[in-house]
Structure 1
Amino acid sequence: MSKKPKETKSTVEDKDTTQVQDQAQQVNGEQAAGKEEAVTEVSETDGLKEDLAKEKDKFLRLFAEFENYKKRTSKERIELFKTAGQDVMQAMLPVLDDFDRAMVEIAKSEDKELLKGVELISNKLRNVLEGKGLEVIETKAGDTFDAEVHDAVTQIPAPSDDLKGKIVDVIEKGYKLGDKIIRHPKVVFGQ
């Protein structure tokens, strides 16, 4: 027979205390784990909210950039359509100049029918080009010289004091297509 040591009252109390302490630690550990889980869940939620806010900001910026791109390309397309015929118009300007010179010379002759025919052709060509947006830059002797609009061929001493800094003679007409000047008027101005 084996002898079991007798459990004393203090040993039993120690075991009970130990069990109670273990249970308390277990409860405290579970509470701590619950708090950690709650803190982890809250920090995960905050992280996800921040990520969502960043992605939303990226999306809004990208959307705004795309809208600006659409506006810019449509504006460029409109400009292209307005000035698509610019090369053709510039090529036609010497023809208009030739018509002007021809009209001056034909007016000197006796043949009025020839003058009338050339006038009709000249006017028809001008009307077609004006319909496509070509405009004459109105410049005449006595107007103030503007370096942004006029192209000075030469400067001469002003014939009178009132022509100083003003246009004395127009050598070649200027034209614009829409708002863009495609040929500046060539002028002589007084100094």
Structure 2
Amino acid sequence: MTDKKKKKSSEKEPKVDELQLLEERIAELENEVETLEDKNLRLTAEFDNYRKRTLKEKMELTKHAGEKILTNILPVIDNFERAMDVMQDTKDIEAVKEGIELIYSNFKDFLRQNGVTEIEVLNEEFDTDVSEAITKIPAPSEDMKGKVIDCTEKGYKLNDKVIRYAKVVVGE
């Protein structure tokens, strides 16, 4: 019987050790869960701050994006005002024409510098990706069928994206 008691007591000892190990493991896991929850909370807060910051930056960028363009167009407006002042007093129509052509050239340069380009459509095959047909007329020659005969309103692209379709007359 003594052997049995020894055996039972020896069986209890491992259970106590196992229980202690399990309790230690539970404490470790609880600590790890607490650490992970803290990391998750911090990461969530960090992401929320990042989202708010980028949203604010995006709003600022949108708000001030047009400022540079508008600032750069002011010299063109100044030139128009000068031309209108000169037109009041001058009798030299050629000088007025030359001034208006110069302003037009400045304005075209301004558009080009800001990524706006004219879409060339005259005498080209009609392309619905860049043009809108407003009417069809009989083609003046056989080779002009399906081609743009006249452009009533120019089309423009901004960095390869059509911002205004050309309004055209197509030969039939």
State TM-score, norm by structure 2: 0.57
The 5 Å alignment of 1:83-162 reads 84=66, 111-140=93-122, 142-162=123-143
Residues in 1 aligned to 2:138 and 2:26: alpha-carbon distance in whole angstroms = 85
Residues in 2 aligned to 1:144 and 1:129: alpha-carbon distance in whole angstroms = 26
Please tell me whether Structure 1 or Structure 2 has the larger radius of gyration of its CA atoms.
Answer: 1
Query: Does structure 1 residue 180 correspond to structure 2 residue 135?
Result: no
Q: How big is the shift at 1:30?
A: 1.0
- The amino acid across from 2:112 in the alignment is E
Residues in 1 aligned to 2:102 and 2:120: alpha-carbon distance in whole angstroms = 22
4+ residue stretches of structure 1 with deviation over 4 A?
39-49
Query: Does structure 1 residue 34 correspond to structure 2 residue 28?
Result: no
Residues in 1 aligned to 2:120 and 2:31: alpha-carbon distance in whole angstroms = 67
- The number of equivalent residue pairs is 146
Residues in 1 aligned to 2:169 and 2:31: alpha-carbon distance in whole angstroms = 74
The aligned counterpart of 1:190 is 171
Query: Does structure 1 residue 21 correspond to structure 2 residue 21?
Result: no
Select between 36-45 and 151-160 the one with higher mean Cα deviation: 36-45
Q: Deviations over 1:118-143 (max 9, x none)?
A: 21222223223333333212222x20
Measured at CA, do residues 47 and 146 of structure 1 come closer, stay the same or move farther in structure 2, by a change above 3 Å?
farther
Q: How big is the shift at 1:186?
A: 0.9
SS in 2 for 1:171: strand
User: What is the percentage of aligned positions where both structures have the same residue?
Assistant: 31
Residues in 2 aligned to 1:31 and 1:114: alpha-carbon distance in whole angstroms = 107
- The amino acid across from 1:177 in the alignment is L
Measured at CA, do residues 22 and 186 of structure 1 come closer, stay the same or move farther in structure 2, by a change above 3 Å?
same
Measured at CA, do residues 174 and 80 of structure 1 come closer, stay the same or move farther in structure 2, by a change above 3 Å?
farther
The aligned counterpart of 2:147 is 166
Q: Which runs of 5+ in 1 are unaligned?
A: 1-16, 89-109
SS in 2 for 1:146: coil
SS in 2 for 1:130: helix
Q: How big is the shift at 1:111?
A: 4.4
Q: Deviations over 1:34-89 (max 9, x none)?
A: 2344456557767877x59x87xx79x97xx88xx79x97xx78x959x748x97x
Residues in 1 aligned to 2:62 and 2:155: alpha-carbon distance in whole angstroms = 21
Residues in 1 aligned to 2:111 and 2:24: alpha-carbon distance in whole angstroms = 74
SS in 2 for 1:118: helix
